[in-house]
Amino acid sequence: MSSTATTNSGPTPSKKLKTGDEVDNGEVKTTNNNNNANRLDSSGGADSLEDESRDYDPETQKTLEEIDATQNEIDSLNEKASEEILKVEQKYNKLRKPFFEKRNELIAKIPNFWVTAFVNHPQISAILDEDEEECLHFLSKLEVEEFEDIKSGYRIKFYFDENPYFENDLLEKEFHLGAGGDPASKSTQIKWREGSDLSKRLQDQQNAYNKNESDSKTSRKRQLEFPRTFFTWFTDHGDASADDIAEVIKDDMWPNPLQYFLVPDIEVENGGLDGEDGESDEDEDENDESVVVVEEEDDDGADDEEDVDDEELYEGEDGDEGEGGPDDEDDDPEGE
């Protein structure tokens, strides 16, 4: 009798799991896929895999097989859950769409809404230079659309009013998340007006700087890499899987842009920026000292005010007879 789990012939007291083995209906099967082959090649071949195998007593072996079977059931449920979650997400994407459209109609009534939200966002503002910020004053609407099969990707749409920078009224960047291949992106070709290509302007500056560095005696120095900007991000399709700006726009800015438009107001309500904590603490200490001084002055002044208030109240209640009240009060201490 032969066993698929071992190369030895003859009956065995129990099946033995080795690295790379799978359990199917209580049978141990050795998997021979490319990944295992690559791992075998890099770790010294099949002999090293045999070295990693362990002998278990029958009870432990049976328990391991049951654990593996149970784990397969869990993995199957996880796959089903993912499919159900995607269906629910698709359903609610359709339900949210009219509300997103209504929100954009209302946003259109507020000048410079989107550029304000972008400037207030910590990650998006980090890639905006001054010229691009001026250009984004013409951004009138933003939309994020997920594909029908939301696993396959999404697109970000930027709508612009007539502007001195480019002729397009709509710029789109799409992200395709194909299951078989690497993520990829593509974007609208920007029709820049003459002398207004913001992405080329920055690239020219970088090229000129690097050329000067290479021509100088210190050509071995590291050439400067200028930071990416909004439009260099828009036209860059090098590594879609690492596009953090697109993820920020889709998952943070688009769901609730109002929170970033109102950032200054929120900061005032919360007592300032986090970065100003040190200054705030010092101000609080100064305020605490001033409060103490004011309280000490108020204690003395409060007694005088209370005496005056009591006198006025006494006069108000007793009329003319109250005129003698203070004299009587002054006489009482002398009598005592």
Domain membership flag for residue 324: no
Q: Are residues 85 and 138 in the same domain?
A: no
Write down the pLDDT at residue 196. Answer: 87
Q: Are residues 246 and 132 in the same domain?
A: yes
Q: Are residues 262 and 134 in the same domain?
A: yes
Q: pTM of the full predicted structure?
A: 0.58
Residue ranges making up the domain that contains 246: 112-271
Domain membership flag for residue 319: no
For residue 176, pLDDT over 60 is answered with yes
Write down the pLDDT at residue 200. Answer: 77
Q: Are residues 120 and 101 in the same domain?
A: no
Q: Are residues 231 and 131 in the same domain?
A: yes
Domain membership flag for residue 34: yes
Write down the pLDDT at residue 237. Answer: 87
Write down the pLDDT at residue 231. Answer: 93
Domain closes at, from 271, 289, 311: 271
Q: Are residues 159 and 64 in the same domain?
A: no
For residues 23 and 121, which has the higher predicted lDDT (pLDDT)?
Answer: 121
Least confident of 188-197, 231-240, 318-327: 318-327
Nearest to 174 by CA among 246, 100, 97: 246
Write down the pLDDT at residue 45. Answer: 44
Q: Are residues 102 and 125 in the same domain?
A: no
For residues 165 and 321, which has the higher predicted lDDT (pLDDT)?
Answer: 165
For residues 111 and 224, which has the higher predicted lDDT (pLDDT)?
Answer: 111
Q: Are residues 152 and 235 in the same domain?
A: yes
pLDDT band for position 296 (cuts 50, 70, 90): very low
Pick left, alpha or beta for residue 139 (phi over 0 → left; psi -120 to 50 → alpha; otherwise beta).
beta
Mean pLDDT in the chain?
73
Domain membership flag for residue 177: yes
Q: How far apart are CA 60 and CA 66, in angstroms?
A: 10
Least confident of 102-116, 120-134, 181-195: 181-195
pLDDT band for position 116 (cuts 50, 70, 90): very high
Radius of gyration (C-alpha) of the chain in whole angstroms: 37
For residues 142 and 196, which has the higher predicted lDDT (pLDDT)?
Answer: 142
Q: Are residues 97 and 123 in the same domain?
A: no
Domain membership flag for residue 334: no
Domain membership flag for residue 25: yes
Write down the pLDDT at residue 178. Answer: 72
Q: Are residues 140 and 170 in the same domain?
A: yes
Least confident of 50-54, 121-125, 192-196, 257-261: 50-54
Q: How far apart are CA 240 and CA 187, in angstroms?
A: 12
Nearest to 193 by CA among 162, 230, 159: 162
Q: What is the mean pLDDT of residues 235-241?
A: 83
Q: Domain total for the chain?
A: 2
Give the domain CATH number at 125: 3.30.1120.90
pLDDT tens, 11-37?
444 444 444 455 455 454 554 444 444
Task: Give, in order, the Cα–Cα distances in Å from 85 to each of 80, 93, 162, 229.
Answer: 9, 12, 41, 35
For residue 336, pLDDT over 50 is answered with no
For residues 306 and 77, which has the higher predicted lDDT (pLDDT)?
Answer: 77
End-to-end CA distance of the chain: 123
Q: What is the mean pLDDT of residues 151-172?
A: 95
Domain closes at, from 87, 107, 127: 107
User: What percent of the chain is predicted at pLDDT more than 70?
Assistant: 54
Domain membership flag for residue 124: yes
Q: What is the mean pLDDT of residues 299-309?
A: 50
Domain closes at, from 217, 237, 271: 271
Domain membership flag for residue 65: yes
Q: Are residues 217 and 199 in the same domain?
A: yes
Q: Are residues 252 and 135 in the same domain?
A: yes
